[in-house]
Amino acid sequence: MAVVSVLRGQVVAGGEPIGRARQGLHLGFRQDGEYIDPAILYSIVRHAVLVPVPEDA
């Protein structure tokens, strides 16, 4: 992340920006300290969408 806009453990709402990525974003998730395959979440969340944030936001 080029800019992180939230704190560790902070609760965020769907659609709320959590930061800004540099070119070439890679996602990773952990559950109980272990990395999990983000593709697993696609079966739970049908339409996960990354939305560009305007530069002046």
Per DSSP, the residues of 1-57 read --EE-S-TT----TT---EE--SS----EEETTEEE-THHHHTT-S-----PPPTT-
For residue 2, is pLDDT > 80?
yes
Task: Express each pLDDT in 3-57 by its tens digit.
Answer: 889 998 999 988 888 888 777 666 777 888 888 877 776 666 566 566 677 777 5
Determine the pLDDT at residue 14. Answer: 84
Determine the pLDDT at residue 25. Answer: 66
Determine the pLDDT at residue 10. Answer: 92
Determine the pLDDT at residue 34. Answer: 86
CA distance 14 to 20: 16
